[in-house]
Amino acid sequence: MLKNKVILVILDGCRYDTAKEQMGFLNSLVTHQKAQLAKVIAEMPSNSRPLYEVLMTGTPMHQNQIYTNLAVQRSKEVSLFELVKKAGGLTAVAGYYWLSELYNQAPYNIMTDRIQHDQDKLIQHGIFYSEDHYPDSHVFADGNALINEYQPDFMVVHSMNIDDVGHKYTANSKEYLTAVNYADIILGYFIPIWQKLGYQLIVTADHGMDQFGLHGGSLNEHREVPLFYLGNDLELGTEDIPQLKVMPLVCDLLGIQQVGQ
């Protein structure tokens, strides 16, 4: 039996410093000791598909072999989805189609894979999107629908608008700041609902964004991302957290053991 139900929110492309400046709802919870905030140092390459794999498996690129965003293949590592399923739990995702390709089936086919309900898959319930401008409000509504219908033990909600806007306008733009600010507003609506359902929550990002609208390298702007924790079972401390440690943190919340630990 799992110890907690957990929702992992991934705000694609959200920088740590911008989250501290623009996310008033979450930072208010931190100020009043209702949440904790830590800085996560993302792995490299600081690109989305490799870092989804880092977050879900706790393994570095040289081990998991998801080298680039062009790696259209199933993960070969043991993921959080597999561990939760083996523990008798239920998994769900509302997110970008690369998550479906990594953990359910590749390549993604929008005609058959957009909505998935299959107890035999690692992601047992999924609503996936394949356009980067798919509205964040819709992604969170998709996630809320899956939570209401299936009460998953491990839920991933992954939004793309911050990253999409950052590439189009750069991290120094009004548009990027607005996207981060708006994600906080959406979270301010859904998080209280999910907490009342008994979920522990982690809100983080895969990578950041620089002043040229890029990521993928070694700059602080590429690698420093937030991790907000809303719950009572972890003490994050004051040190920066390597991104490889996020998956074990989720394991601790769920009450399952990472393979090899």
**What whole-number percentage of the chain has pLDDT above 90?**
96
76, part of any domain:
yes
86, part of any domain:
yes
pLDDT above 70 for 71: yes
Is the separation of the CB atoms in 243 and 51 below 8 Å?
yes
**Residue 257 confidence class, pLDDT cut points 50, 70, 90:** confident
CB atoms within 10 A of CB 63: 13
260, part of any domain:
no
259, part of any domain:
no
What mean pLDDT is predicted for residues 99-103? 98
pLDDT above 80 for 259: no
User: Cα–Cα distances in Å, from 165 out to 40, 177, 179, 185, 205?
Assistant: 22, 9, 7, 17, 15
14, part of any domain:
yes
Q: What is the pTM of this model?
A: 0.97
3 state SS of 228: strand
143, part of any domain:
yes
Quick: pLDDT tens for 102-152: 999 999 999 999 999 999 999 999 999 999 999 999 999 999 999 999 999
What span, in angstroms and rounded, lies between the C-alpha atoms of 23 and 119? 36
Give the range of the structural domain holding residue 62, as residue numbers without chain letter.
5-254
Quick: pLDDT tens for 153-193: 999 999 999 999 999 999 999 999 999 999 999 999 999 99
194, part of any domain:
yes
215, part of any domain:
yes
Tell me the CATH number at 224.
3.40.720.10
* Count of domains forming the chain: 1
Burial class (CB in 10 A: 0-12, 13-18, 19+), 69: middle
